[in-house]
Structure 1
Amino acid sequence: MELKPRIIVVGGGAIGGFFAWRLSLSKEVTVSIVCRSNYTQVRANGYLVNSAQFGRAVYRPWGVYQTVEEAAAKEGPFDYVIVALKALPNVYDSAERVAAAVSENTMVALFQNGIGIEEPFVARFPRTPLVSTVSFVSVKQEETGVLCHGGFSMLASGLHHCERGMQAHSLAKLQFLSDVFVSQGVSSIIEADIQPYRWQKHILNGSTNPVSVICGGASCQEMSRNEYCRKLLEDTMAEIFVLGKKVTGKPFPGVDGIVDPQSATEYIDSIPVPVYTSMLVDSQCKRPMERDVILKNPIALADKYGVDVPRMKALYAMVTMVEEGYAR
């Protein structure tokens, strides 16, 4: 009997838990997950999912593990490793953290936010096909093991790296994964160049995340409704638009109708429930923030391409001080 492709999702938070759930509903694959802070709850009771798009469900993963090494010893080798860890290169190396699950036949797919997340994986796994995936989805873990999802889920993926002569095989493998997502109601597209989509998402990530930390706990809608804060958001977004187009040499795809800073804040205004950024939640819990991939890496590109980003540099300085203040 032919074995089903095996998928391990590394990172059992909101993004990892949600997309593992959708994949697990397919009979074409087996899906397990590596959890950390919510391991005990998920191992015992699974996830409770409240989704405006898909309804309510209890998701009990095929396998729940506390470490990648444990998962690899029990179930490996894996056909796909989905990386849904926080991208914190200033704290740990995500590529090293998933290394035990990567074999010669594995495809690694990055479901992480930020800019410049791919290169550490290329350096660590030069012979492994690497997929960069951008998720457009509103999902949060309201409490341990409880996922709250809105009415929309979309993935845009692209093959970032593969060995010479293996592109056709790698694209076919990526297409299979994309088709599984589509079969379970998730919109999924494959792009030859994924970076414009990554920058598209960064319009909101790179602005609302750091500004919410500096604003002391405001929701995205509260920031957008304030005259002065809205101006700061739109000016920061304008820097991201200019920088992203300079780096990629292409226009952004306009997902959610976001084609300029004004349409971005209008999109925020249209969201019916308060949205609190992941960076804000991390700062309130005194956890490391994704400041490097959200701000530091884009700033380095701005310096390289000669693009002026004074607001991004100011925000980076401030959120760095906030994080360093945890110990005070």
Structure 2
Amino acid sequence: MTANTQPRVLLFGAGGIGTVYLWLLSKKSTTTAVCRSNYDVAKKDGFIINSSIFGQGIHFKPNVVRSCEEAASANTPPFDYIVVCSKAIPGTVPKWIAPVVTPGHTAIVLLQNGVGIEEEYRTAFPSNPIVSTVLYLPVTQRPAGVINHGETEGIEIGAYPSSAPDQHAKAFTRLIQSAGATAVLHEDIQLIRWTKLLINAPWNPICALAFSKDTDVLESYDGAPGVIEAVMLEIRDIAVAHGYNITMEKVQFELSRAKARIPIHAGIEPSMLQDVQTGRRIEVEAIVGNPVRMGKAKSVKCDRLELLYVLAKTLDLHLGRKLDA
């Protein structure tokens, strides 16, 4: 890429979040999207984005392909960024994106949930920079091709590992900021990952298993807020054991945000609940399994989290069998 050339970006996973950021990046980049389940709709009609921040009824028709092999066969210059916005299912995405990763050149940007997700990319692509991010973007895609985005947008960015050179993280931050996103660069993104896990680790599996929004869970039983807080505290204890300090005040703040939505009937459908509703597999390892293993490695008590892992893992296996049938 030269100073007079737009960066070339391939987005892998054009769900709700991916499509919003693809639309933004298309303002400053040459973009291509790998679409899977929504390929036919995206190819024929593109996307409609309804956003409380960016506007309603935005029609966006990107260049789409069915696979990374198809993108690689176009015989175009190498991609500068591969932006991964698919579910964090271990052992899958690195092999799928391999055809479009140019060793020593392509930066791999992970727009994925959870902790402990980056190492498999580092192992698969040892000469490529890894940029890790944490997202705050409440969004749904229902039906396919129609994106509904709420009133929050933010992306936290850092190099992986934190000791790695950060020029690619800085460059991606500047790029997405110039496109209109709210982006912040961090020296160590892992603290931000653990902090978001305070929200994701309890709410995602519980809402998916209960088939309910977060506010419905809180209203189900007087002791429900205490259960959610207990799971959050286990996440905090695991994070602290790994060197990332999260205060009790932060735990209480995150719980209070959900409580505040009850009077205004503004419950949230976490991503796992959306996946279960549409019969897709869930990010059980990234959000629940990895924290449990990391807790046990430090002898941190995490009984509630481990129970959620067993239940969510069972649900994920059930969803996987249905998809394979």
TM-score exceeds 0.5: yes
Residues 286-306 of structure 1, C-alpha deviation per residue, up to 9 Å, x if partnerless?
Answer: 332111111111111001111
Please tell me whether residue 58 in structure 1 is matched to residue 52 in structure 2: no
Look up the match of 2:112.
112
1:207 corresponds, among 202, 212, 231, to 202
Instruction: Report deviation, 1:224.
Output: 2.3
Look up the match of 2:177.
182
Output the CA distance in 2 between the equivalents of 1:259 and 1:182. Answer: 30
Please tell me whether residue 150 in structure 1 is matched to residue 150 in structure 2: yes
Secondary structure of the residue aligned to 2:238 is: helix
2:250 corresponds, among 260, 275, 279, to 260
Please tell me whether residue 243 in structure 1 is matched to residue 238 in structure 2: yes
Q: 1:128 to 1:163 in 2, by over 3 A?
A: farther
1:269 corresponds, among 229, 243, 259, to 259
Look up the match of 1:43.
43
Q: 1:163 to 1:97 in 2, by over 3 A?
A: farther
Secondary structure of the residue aligned to 2:149 is: strand
- Opposite residue 219 of structure 1, the aligned amino acid is K
Question: What's the Cα RMSD here?
Answer: 2.1
Q: 1:309 to 1:183 in 2, by over 3 A?
A: same
Output the CA distance in 2 between the equivalents of 1:175 and 1:59. Answer: 27
Give me the identity figure in percent.
29
Output the CA distance in 2 between the equivalents of 1:139 and 1:107. Answer: 26
- Opposite residue 202 of structure 1, the aligned amino acid is L
Instruction: Report deviation, 1:140.
Output: 1.4
Q: 1:269 to 1:172 in 2, by over 3 A?
A: same
Output the CA distance in 1 between the equivalents of 2:212 and 2:163. Answer: 46
Instruction: Report deviation, 1:274.
Output: 2.6
- Opposite residue 282 of structure 2, the aligned amino acid is M
Q: Is the Cα contact below 8 Å between 1:50 and 1:149 reproduced in 2?
A: yes
Q: Is the Cα contact below 8 Å between 2:162 and 2:187 reproduced in 1?
A: no
Instruction: Report deviation, 1:228.
Output: 2.7
Residues 124-171 of structure 1, C-alpha deviation per residue, up to 9 Å, x if partnerless?
Answer: 00110011111111111121011111122111111104998xx2xxx3
Matches within 5 A, 1:15-26: 15-26=17-28
Look up the match of 2:89.
88
Q: 1:43 to 1:263 in 2, by over 3 A?
A: same
Secondary structure of the residue aligned to 2:135 is: strand
Output the CA distance in 2 between the equivalents of 1:68 and 1:242. Answer: 40
- Opposite residue 223 of structure 1, the aligned amino acid is V
Q: 1:224 to 1:262 in 2, by over 3 A?
A: farther
Look up the match of 2:159.
159
Query: Unaligned regions of 5+ residues in structure 2, if any?
Result: none
Matches within 5 A, 1:188-199: 188-199=183-194
Output the CA distance in 2 between the equivalents of 1:204 and 1:240. Answer: 10
Output the CA distance in 1 between the equivalents of 2:6 and 2:163. Answer: 24
Q: Is the Cα contact below 8 Å between 2:53 and 2:151 reproduced in 1?
A: yes
Output the CA distance in 2 between the equivalents of 1:223 and 1:163. Answer: 40
Q: Is the Cα contact below 8 Å between 1:68 and 1:101 reproduced in 2?
A: yes
Output the CA distance in 2 between the equivalents of 1:301 and 1:179. Answer: 33
Residues 177-214 of structure 1, C-alpha deviation per residue, up to 9 Å, x if partnerless?
Answer: 21222223311111111001001111111110111123
Query: Unaligned regions of 5+ residues in structure 1, if any?
Result: none
- Opposite residue 13 of structure 2, the aligned amino acid is G
Look up the match of 2:301.
308
Output the CA distance in 2 between the equivalents of 1:317 and 1:50. Answer: 37
- Opposite residue 31 of structure 2, the aligned amino acid is V
Task: Give the TM-score taking structure 2 as reference length.
Answer: 0.90
Output the CA distance in 1 between the equivalents of 2:163 and 2:237. Answer: 32
Q: 1:229 to 1:118 in 2, by over 3 A?
A: same
- Opposite residue 100 of structure 1, the aligned amino acid is P
- Opposite residue 296 of structure 2, the aligned amino acid is D
Instruction: Report deviation, 1:282.
Output: 2.1
Q: Is the Cα contact below 8 Å between 1:76 and 1:101 reproduced in 2?
A: no
Secondary structure of the residue aligned to 1:177 is: helix
Output the CA distance in 2 between the equivalents of 1:290 and 1:300. Answer: 15
1:12 corresponds, among 11, 14, 27, to 14
1:323 corresponds, among 311, 316, 323, to 316
Instruction: Give the aligned length.
Output: 312
Output the CA distance in 1 between the equivalents of 2:260 and 2:131. Answer: 32
Q: 1:135 to 1:163 in 2, by over 3 A?
A: closer
Q: Is the Cα contact below 8 Å between 2:162 and 2:188 reproduced in 1?
A: no
Instruction: Report deviation, 1:76.
Output: 4.4
Q: Is the Cα contact below 8 Å between 2:129 and 2:168 reproduced in 1?
A: no
